[in-house]
A and B are shown apart, each in its own frame.
Chain A
Amino acid sequence: MTIRTVVNGRPVTEPIPVRWTLAEFVRDRLGLTGTKLSCGMQVCGVCTVLVDGRPVSACSYLAVDVDGCEVTTIEGLADAGSLHPIQAAFVDHFALQCGFCTPGFIMMAKSLLDENPRPTRKDVVDYLDGNICRCTGYQPIIDAIVDASERMTP
């Protein structure tokens, strides 16, 4: 089936197998490998991308369901080489170690801040309930997101 979508601002029309997940489409067809895969069951969040601004688990979402929608992956955040404020805050707060979970956390943070530009620490913790990090102990991630919110909405 042929799907028409806009990925990171670029119109894409591609014939794809109906059974493909969104992760297979962005990683294997479009080469956007910033979107990671781990649990494959909506639990860990490393595969998070935005579809019309809503967060979805690309591991468990049909690619055909983005037909007619806009998709944003981690590659779509930096603007002409300069980091998005959330990315910059992650660097400044050492909010990553191995970095495998980072694209997912950043996409979730983007979705949270779009919805709620000045979240409390508790709002951040609640929103990230479905994201797992095995390295950082989470505190630097929360610090980075709270800081990013302050940078973006002074």
Chain B
Amino acid sequence: MSVLPPFELHRPTSIEEVVELISWDDLPYVGGTELLLAMRAGLLNPRSLIDLKGVAEITGVRAHNGAVRIGAAVTHQQAATTEVISEKLPELPPVLLHVGNPRVRWSGTLAGNLCFAEPKSDVIPFLIALDATVTLVSADGSREMSVREFIIGPYFTARTEHELLAWIDIPVVPGRRGTYLKYQVMERPTVGVAAVRLDEGDSTITRVVVGAAGEVPVVHDVDHAHPDRSAVATAVVDALEPIDDLTGSSDYKRHVTAVYVERALEKLERM
């Protein structure tokens, strides 16, 4: 007796081979930290799994065109301890080193996190705050889009049936400051708040992105380096559509969100 349903296994070594195989019935995986649990629960029953770990083109992290490019097979732990990232995106490792637990971080990837589009993700709000993009590749070509456009709703992305998420690009912006604060008592956060400050032309933008508390991340930009913290918190909470679940009631989530938005902004002021 096995805990997982039967499936076939593919071990391609190039993106070209992957995109020939990929479909809603033939699912790519790296860690399987989400996928295997969904299969075990009977929520997914793929014909085959496509192991991406042997695809060299998507295994590393490198500087590319003013951005840091993170391959789809890169795990949270690997990204958090890669030199290019510590050097160019020092705000990222602390976020990745608080995803789940060490076992999840060693196996799970940033790309898998985005593709699964779990509403209680830490990676999604932070990557939206950093203006990250994803590159989707299919046999017909490739397209790039922002993470903000990619995440459509809970467990729902803009990826189509035969597309592979090949890599994530995070722009490196001189002078940008960013932080992420989360409140978490169980396996997943109740609320996660990313706060980023960056110069755009003559003005400075402060951006707040709130994840986990609602079904989709709330993005709020203010054209000011030092915005009124409680006004931002009120605006964000107004835009939030929380639901009652095990991490708290909707009223509770509104309250915690306001507190964490103010704290994140306060932390940003000191950076």
Verify B2–A19 contact, CB threshold 8 A: yes
The secondary-structure label for the interface of chain A is: mixed
B173 to chain A, nearest CB (A): 30
How many A residues touch B, CB cutoff 8 Å?
Answer: 30
A102 proximal to B (CB < 8 A): no
Verify B8–A18 contact, CB threshold 8 A: yes
Given contacts A54-B106, A130-B101, contact A20 B2 (CB under 8 A): yes
Interface hit among B18-26, B30-38, B111-119, B216-224: B30-38
B32 to chain A, nearest CB (A): 6
Verify B103–A62 contact, CB threshold 8 A: no
Interface string of A19-50 (1 = CB under 8 A from B): 11100100000000000000011110100100
Verify B2–A40 contact, CB threshold 8 A: no
Verify B104–A42 contact, CB threshold 8 A: yes
How many B residues touch A, CB cutoff 8 Å?
Answer: 25
Apart from the given pairs A41-B37, A130-B102, 15 other A-B contacts in the complex at a CB distance below 8 Å = A20-B2, A20-B4, A21-B36, A40-B3, A41-B40, A42-B37, A42-B101, A43-B187, A56-B103, A56-B107, A57-B104, A61-B107, A65-B51, A129-B102, A130-B101
Interface residues of B (CB under 8 A from A): 2-9, 32-33, 36-37, 40, 49, 51, 53, 77, 100-104, 106-107, 187
A68 to chain B, nearest CB (A): 10
9 shortest A-B CB distances, which residue pairs? A130-B101, A19-B4, A54-B106, A18-B9, A57-B103, A55-B103, A60-B36, A129-B101, A19-B6
